[in-house]
Amino acid sequence: MPPLPTRPVALLDLDGTLMDSAPGIVASVSAAYAHVGLPAPTDAVMRSFAGPPIQWSFTTHGVGAEQLDAAVAAYGAHFSGAGVWDTRVFDGVPAALATLREAGVLLVVATAKPLRWAAPICDEVGLTPLLDHVVGAPDDESESKGDIIGRALAWVHSAVDGADVRAVMLGDREHDVHGAAEHGLPCLGALWGYGGADELRAAGAVELLDSPADVPAAVLAHVGPVAR
């Protein structure tokens, strides 16, 4: 029996990896703390909310269980009205994605941002034509990053018709690394994002990348050459 054809795949975090969404997120986090009557953390801490599931971020930074639902709702109301659009694509990302697509790599976003925001913002900033699919969190944001990556992989397997999938994750936070590891995937660390080298290295990122220009070569090194 001939071997299965291979299909190289890059799973991509969104906030802090493809897009600098911190300004809108910080404004919405600040509004949520004000709504529940708590002092807002420092700007650096609020920037760290970009990427991880929002419920984890609030509980990690002082919001008690009795206030969590109200904080999440206030964040969502502010973010959907204004914060979601206060973002930009990192320099070099479109070129990196175009290079990978030209090389035959399937590009799938796997983000903890709810899909109701992730898909429209990818449209707005011009990323959608460079991507094959976008997988986001459910509206209640109840999934871990590992859950989201699992759904992204399920979509990939349904889309490639039995091919042997070779996948790598690209992300800027420990949640990306740990979520990828749950599925036996390596994770490349994006140093232009919000996590930093120490966090990514401690989590087990297989390689740290300095800029989006480094992404194509690193991805191809992990998923192997694309069969033509």
Catalytic residues: 13
- DSSP secondary-structure letter at 15? B
Phi and psi at residue 75, to the nearest 5°: -60, -50
| Contact by Cβ (8 Å): 108, 135 | yes
Angle at 166 between CA 191 and CA 172, to 5 degrees: 15
Radius of gyration of the chain (CA): 17
Lookup: tokens for 225: 């050459």
Lookup: tokens for 60: 């990690």
| Contact by Cβ (8 Å): 156, 167 | yes
- DSSP secondary-structure letter at 107? E
Alpha helices, DSSP H only, in the chain?
A: 22-36, 43-47, 54-60, 65-81, 93-102, 115-124, 145-159, 174-181, 197-203, 215-223
Phi and psi at residue 40, to the nearest 5°: -70, 145
